Amino acid sequence: MSREAIFRITKLICVSLAILSCSSALRAQLAPSPVSTSDPSGPVPIPERNPARLSPPPHPSQVKVADWTAQDIQAAMERCGMILAGTGAVYRHMDPLHDGRCGTPAPIELSAIGSNPSVAITPPARVTCGLAASLSAWSDTILQPIARTHIGETITGIRNVASYVCRNRYNAPNKRISEHARANALDMAAFKTDSGNWIAILEHWTLPPELRAETPRTQVSGVTATQPKAPSGKSSGPATQDQSLSPSVPPEFQPESAFLFGIHKGACSLFGTVLGPEANDAHKDHFHFDLAKREHANYCE
């Protein structure tokens, strides 16, 4: 065999070996990695929970919010004078309240509401002028007429147990901010008659007999509320004077009870929220009225 033929054969063998070597390397790269049947590191650790989610949100007073501007205060003062004109409300202006998210630019210290007759607030309440105007309207159109109907007297005083307080609802860290924190709510526990007697909610509240059998949870405008169920053919409104004095009415539903039931129910058309003993145990001894803005119907329990 010639030297030239041997050279060509040797060259062909080298090329073939090179091709086989590259093909093996390529197959090794493309082959899937072997799956391990054991995990030497143990179970995958669960990530730690976000500490910010574990801790309660800050108290409303601890949230930094810009203070009221001079324009805010001036506009609120002007509005206050307009809405309280002719209401009979007795009040004095206070410095702006600002404590974190809490406060209002033009608060007042309200010492009396209404004019038919005037009703003293004891102790005076720190509220907004809008709430004072609504309370005065409630006093003249609901409180006094119902008092005359059921107890034959007028109301001269209201025992205030809470007005402005910087807090969340029910003092619960995870609840929304309370209307009390906006000076937009008043809690009242008792009412003084012109004869000097006090009608206390804790002592005299009870439902009319026809509303005691069942109080189902009813969905009203997207809000769950306790709504007394009235028998067929009977109104769910306050009892009349004849009903409150009838011998067939249980003795525990006295004229004072009819009075309380009536002024609570009547307030539902004037305030964003009206709560009383039927709402929950936290309100067993007082009424809560506020001017919370609601998209649909007022919330009344």
Bridge partners (DSSP) of residue 185 are 290
For the chain, the structural domain boundaries read 60-205+251-300
Calpha distance 141→114 (Å, rounded)? 9
In what helix (H) or strand (E) does residue 25 lie, and over which residues does it extend? helix 3-30
Residue 85 CA: distances (Å) to CA of 74, 160, 254: 17, 23, 37
The total of other beta-carbon atoms located within 10 Å of residue 217's CB is 8
Contact 179, 290 (CB under 8 A): yes
Return the axis-axis angle of helices 255-267 and 144-151, rounded to nearest 10°.
160
Return the axis-axis angle of helices 255-267 and 129-138, rounded to nearest 10°.
140
pLDDT per residue as tens digits for the range 185-198: 999 999 999 999 99
Q: Would you put residue 233 in left (φ > 0), alpha (ψ -120 to 50) or beta?
A: left
pLDDT per residue as tens digits for the range 100-123: 999 999 999 999 999 989 999 999
Question: Cα–chain-centroid distance for residue 188?
Answer: 18
Calpha distance 88→107 (Å, rounded)? 17
**Torsion sign, CA atoms 255, 261, 263, 266:** negative
pLDDT per residue as tens digits for the range 237-266: 333 333 333 334 444 789 999 999 999 999
Q: What does the block give as tokens for 127? A: 């509220």
pLDDT per residue as tens digits for the range 116-174: 899 999 999 999 999 999 999 999 999 999 999 999 999 999 999 999 999 999 888 88
Q: Examine the pLDDT at 21 and tell me if it is beyond 80.
A: no
pLDDT of residue 294: 85
Average pLDDT over residues 270-295: 95
The full length of the chain comes to 301
State the average pLDDT for the chain.
Answer: 80
Calpha distance 143→44 (Å, rounded)? 67
Cα maximum dimension of the chain: 142
